[in-house]
Amino acid sequence: MNKHIFTLFVLLTAHCLLSVAQTKSGLDPQRFITTVDGKETKLITLRNGDMEACITNYGARLVSLMVPDKEGKVEDVVLGFDDINAYRLKKQNFGSIVGRYIGRIKGAHFTLDGQEYQLQQTANGNISHGGQPGFSDRVWDIVFYNDSTLRLKYVSPDGENGFPGTLTTFVTYRLTHDLALTVNFEATTDKPTVVNLSNHAFFNISGDPSTPVTNQLLFVDSKYIATYDKEKNLDGNFMRVRNTPFDFRQMKQIGADIDIYDEQMSITRGYDHAFALRHAGKSSKPAAILYDEKSGRQLTVYTTEPAVQVYTANGLNGSMIGKGGIAYQKNAAICLETMHFSDSPNHPEFPSTVLRPGKPYKSHTTYQFSEHIEKKHNLLTSILIYGGAASLTGLGVVGIMSLMK
């Protein structure tokens, strides 16, 4: 074979292999292979129709999610990094599974069945997101995967970061034919413990993370938010959203009221609050709807959880360089974290996060995409108008559960 023809053949072959290896989002799976704590990390690609999801077993993280817009253009709608080393070094929760307990537990302690448990202190005397290392820093075992489904497993030993009980956790990601990503959690324990798991995806459904999400429209099916004290710990109270910047009972721009002075907003410098869902536990009802007018993409969130934490990426400041070399600025994304309330172990009036042997933990969330806004959701948001006082304190279990209805 002619020398030049052979060289061209080799180059073309290498290009074809690289094209096969890379994903629709441009990720190279080879850049996600390393060893952490004696376990190999990988990047798994799921596809179903026009959707593609890339997930690494390091932290069970959603690395990319390709979704079509109204013109059929497929773009990545979640923030993240191009390689495994960036996830390990930059300590950001992009796309990760957070556990054992998402959010803060005040004082890094709780009492269960008369026994007090002292947890690892990671945030000014509290514990945040399950401690360090948390579930987002662990290599999960790959139990099963096919073209559209991935099942991962992590066994958290008794006493990890102070939490009691050996907790065996499964998370299953699945892409469905109707442009949805489902996330299912299952967990069992060998002694009483507390559990609060969630996926921490940073969404920018415009497909362009260099533009802020403040122009996107948001609806949250909630009349109340859980309020913070000045140290950003839940104080056990709930505040009505009516006549506050937190009122998303009708779709409005995320940035419409984000700069209005409000005591709660001043604590978090933007949205970072748990909204008590009106249809808690009913995954057939939309918990939140996000819409981007330019791309036509709509994201509807359904969940069995009692709350959704709305976080507008207030902590990003351009210093973090993400996929494609893009500097992630403040408000470059929005997180819609389906979960129980932070510090529930110290607030018996909150929905319980206690898990006991023989009673499996189960949680289900669906991120449903569509390529245009649906009129029925406009109708839904227009009729969900509530009245009432501006704040609510001192509710018991029955009272708090009733406000979610």
Q: Is residue 100 part of a domain?
A: yes
Range of the domain at 340: 40-403
Between strands 298-303 and 361-370, the pairing is antiparallel
Q: Is residue 139 part of a domain?
A: yes
Q: Is the Cβ–Cβ distance between 63 and 171 less than 8 Å? A: no
The pLDDT assigned to 371 comes to: 78
The alpha carbon dihedral of 294, 74, 323, 366 has a sign of positive
The pLDDT assigned to 383 comes to: 36
Q: Is the Cβ–Cβ distance between 99 and 130 less than 8 Å? A: yes
Which position has the token pair 């324990």?
Answer: 189
**Token pair for residue 164?**
């009691």
Q: Is residue 8 part of a domain?
A: no
Q: Is residue 303 part of a domain?
A: yes
The pLDDT assigned to 22 comes to: 75
The pLDDT assigned to 393 comes to: 42
Q: Is the Cβ–Cβ distance between 67 and 60 less than 8 Å? A: no
CA distance 213 to 92: 19
The dihedrals phi and psi of 253, each to the nearest 5 degrees, come to -60, 140
Q: Is the Cβ–Cβ distance between 108 and 125 less than 8 Å? A: yes
- What's the pTM value of the predicted model, to 2 decimals? 0.89
CB atoms within 10 A of CB 233: 20
Q: In Å, what is the CA distance from 250 to each residue of 220, 223, 383, 388?
A: 8, 11, 8, 16
Q: Is the Cβ–Cβ distance between 397 and 349 less than 8 Å? A: yes
Q: Is residue 344 part of a domain?
A: yes
Q: Is the Cβ–Cβ distance between 347 and 341 less than 8 Å? A: yes
**Token pair for residue 146?**
């096919």
Q: In Å, what is the CA distance from 143 to each residue of 62, 96, 287, 293, 350?
A: 17, 18, 30, 39, 34
The pLDDT assigned to 91 comes to: 81
Measuring CA to CA, which residue among 366, 67, 44, 368 is closest to residue 208? 67
What is the tally of structural domains in the chain? Answer: 1
Q: Is residue 6 part of a domain?
A: no
Q: Is the Cβ–Cβ distance between 353 and 196 less than 8 Å? A: yes
Q: Across-strand partners of 362?
A: 186
Q: Is residue 300 part of a domain?
A: yes
Q: Is residue 28 part of a domain?
A: no
CA distance 389 to 391: 6
Residues marked as catalytic: 200, 337
Q: Across-strand partners of 299?
A: 290, 369
Q: State the amino acid at position 372 in one-letter form.
A: H
Radius of gyration of the chain (CA): 22
Q: What CATH number is attached to the domain comprising 384?
A: 2.70.98.10
Mean pLDDT by 10 residues, the chain (405 residues): 48 41 88 97 97 98 98 97 96 95 97 98 94 97 98 98 98 98 98 98 98 98 97 97 98 97 95 96 93 98 98 96 97 98 97 97 98 50 38 44 53
CA distance 211 to 345: 38
**Token pair for residue 392?**
């609510």
Q: In Å, what is the CA distance from 348 to each residue of 101, 162, 231, 268, 304?
A: 16, 20, 21, 25, 20
The pLDDT assigned to 119 comes to: 98
